[in-house]
Amino acid sequence: MRPEIERALDRLTHSGEDCPTRLREAIRYSLLAPGKRLRPLLVLMAADACGFNPMEGLPAACAVEMVHCYSLVHDDLPAMDDDRLRRGRPTCHVKFGETLAILVGDALLAQAFHVLCQLEMPAEYVVRCCRELAAAAGPESLVGGQVDDLAGLPADCELADLERIHRRKTGALITVSTRIGAILGDADAPTLAALDLYSQNLGLAFQITDDLLDIGGSSIVLGKTTGKDAAQGKVTYPTLLGEAASRQRTADLIAEARDALRPLGYRATHLDALAQFVLQRDR
């Protein structure tokens, strides 16, 4: 499904007569850079697990990736995380300047909803997808989590404080990905609940792995700067739990995510493989 996602992202950002050339170039530079495409894959795999043709879900998958990419471009800005390397390339503001990078993020966020509205589905489904994505990107989720993350936590905070940040900053976009897939596939309540449980566990495991890779991962393989959390004195899973316990927690969360898929049987094969990828990932 990854090649189809790449082609759809390319197609959706290819034209648009009135879009300034440099803006288009900067949008495509960030969006088409080699990301893992975890979130769009989750949309399509969840849709598939619910019996919906994943190819018809491509606009929704691309919309979630656009929101994710906007958040990366803005997070990298000097006013936020001030990073110079992303997806193996100089960050958007390093390459195109800060003003254009801010506008790339703005454009991607708006375009995400425009693209979502291209779903060829009854309006009621489109509205539900828009509502879910807007909530996941908004002040109670992605943006709120980012605000609290930037403010930082005291070294003696509880694990629950850290998890509250990650549930919003990282988890919300991951959970909404499977929720949108479930909406497309007209999932019943038990299936939606199973997918929620899967993606909540997956999202937390993904974040803990991210913290561990920031310590032990390779900047070249990851395509982003490592060692930043320690340099900023940030509270992370490894600082609160230690590395070994953090690894164990990741394994437990992935086991729980995979367990949650059981009621879906063979239909969830792809989602199951994706959970194993998150456990083993080195980028």
Binding footprint of ligand GRG on the chain (CB under 6 A): 35-36, 38, 71-72, 74-75, 87, 142-143, 146, 169-170, 207, 210
Residue pair 169/146 in contact by the 8 Å Cβ criterion:
yes
Q: What angle do CA 170, 61, 177 make, to 5 degrees?
A: 40
> What element of type H or E holds 248?
helix 243-260
Min separation Cβ 242 and ligand GRG, Å: 20
Q: At its nearest, how many Å lie between ligand GRG and the CB of residue 189? A: 29
> By the 8 A CB rule, do 125 and 164 touch?
no
* Closer to ligand GRG by Cβ: residue 101 or 187: 101
Beta carbon of residue 37, minimum distance to ligand GRG (angstroms, whole number): 7
Residue number with CB closer to ligand GRG (121 or 142):
142
Cα 55 to Cα 106: distance, rounded to the nearest angstrom: 27
Looking at the Cβ atoms of 44 and 126, the one nearer to ligand GRG is: 44
Give me the half-sphere count of Cα atoms (radius 13 Å) on the Cβ side of residue 201: 24
Nearer to ligand GRG by Cβ, of 146 and 178: the residue is 146
The smaller minimum CB distance to ligand GRG, of residues 63 and 192, is found at 63
Task: Please tell me what DSSP assigns to residue 90.
Answer: E
- Cβ atoms within 10 A of the Cβ of 258, count? 19
**Whole-number Å distance between alpha carbons of 77 and 81:** 6
Closest separation in Å from C-beta 22 to ligand GRG: 22
Q: Which is nearer to ligand GRG, 193 or 225 (CB)?
A: 225
- β partners of residue 86: 89
Q: How many residues appear in the chain?
A: 283
In the complex, what is the shortest distance from the CB of residue 114 to ligand GRG, in angstroms, rounded to a whole number?
19
User: How near is the Cβ of 234 to ligand GRG at its closest, in Å?
Assistant: 10
